């Protein structure tokens, strides 16, 4: 059975890469491809986690790859240049392989699993997902005239789910911290609304939101785990401040 699951994982990597390539070739079939992509992700992760963890934990495991790969599909739709598109596809497939490999090791080969690997890769994917979601929604607003209010609601709900996922995977109580979780999602949504009015590209706006998410979730997660101190706070503020400065100085402002 382990061999079958290993083959299924390899198959998923090939299929996901193929679906992205098909999207570039037949963009009019977008809804078919993204539906197949999401069905594959949900089915595979439920199958791998079946009887290994509770349904609530299995659902939280699916949240990150569901939005990461789904909005990667949207993001690549607005890209220009075949070389850049191929580079992005390779990066996405590599990140999926890293994630699903850690899931497999966690459930079926715990001796080879490195402690906290799944938590770490999920945290990085959440950060990338926030960038993909915010960039894609800004693209919808700029190029397709998508509703700003609906975009605001979507970024709030997706951020809320990603933060809840972070809470569950780190085994932190949701009930005790739900108010703070809502506040964090609201802050990201408000920042999204502010960046909508900046004279910048959708990529710059996405980076601003992603860095803000990194800063807020980093500080709050350490606070949840009772490991927040001056050193940790300075590290997050220093990294975030440096990245913000680089974006401001290097970005093209309209």
pLDDT digits (tens, 9 = 90+) for 103-121: 999 988 888 888 888 888 9
The pLDDT-based confidence of 147 (bands split at 50, 70, 90) is confident
Q: Residue 110, Cα to own-chain centre: how many angstroms?
A: 25
With contact defined as beta carbons under 8 Å apart, do 132 and 206 qualify? yes
Token pair 């070389």 is found at 83
**228-254 tens-digit pLDDT:** 778 888 888 898 989 888 887 776 655
**17-36 tens-digit pLDDT:** 999 998 888 888 888 888 99
Give the burial string for 97-136 (b: 16+ CB within 10 Å, else e): bebbbbbbbbbeeeeebeeebbeebbbebbbbbbbbbbbb
The C-alpha atoms of residue 224 and residue 169 are separated, in whole angstroms, by 13
């Amino acid at each position: 059975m382990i061999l079958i699951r290993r083959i299924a994982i390899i198959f998923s990597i090939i299929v996901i890469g193929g679906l992205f390539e098909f999207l570039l070739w037949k963009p009019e079939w977008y809804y078919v491809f993204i539906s197949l992509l999401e069905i594959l992700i949900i089915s595979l992760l439920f199958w791998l986690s079946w009887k290994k963890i509770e349904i609530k934990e299995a659902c939280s495991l699916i949240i990150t790859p569901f939005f990461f790969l789904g909005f990667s599909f949207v993001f690549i739709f607005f890209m220009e240049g075949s070389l850049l598109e191929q580079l992005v596809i390779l990066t996405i497939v590599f990140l999926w392989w890293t994630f699903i490999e850690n899931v497999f090791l966690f459930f079926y080969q715990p001796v080879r699993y490195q402690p906290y690997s799944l938590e770490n890769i999920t945290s990085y994917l959440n950060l990338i997902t926030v960038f993909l979601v915010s960039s894609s929604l800004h693209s919808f607003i700029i190029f397709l005239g998508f509703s700003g209010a609906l975009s605001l609601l979507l970024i709030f709900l997706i951020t809320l789910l990603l933060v809840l996922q972070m809470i569950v995977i780190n085994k932190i109580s949701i009930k005790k911290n739900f108010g703070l979780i809502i506040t964090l999602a609201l802050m990201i949504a408000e920042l999204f609304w502010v960046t909508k009015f900046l004279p910048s590209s959708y990529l710059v706006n996405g980076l601003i939101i992603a860095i803000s998410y990194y800063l807020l979730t980093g500080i709050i997660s350490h606070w949840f785990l009772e490991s927040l101190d001056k050193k940790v706070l300075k590290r997050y503020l220093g990294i975030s401040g440096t990245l913000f400065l680089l974006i401001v100085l290097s970005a093209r402002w309209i």
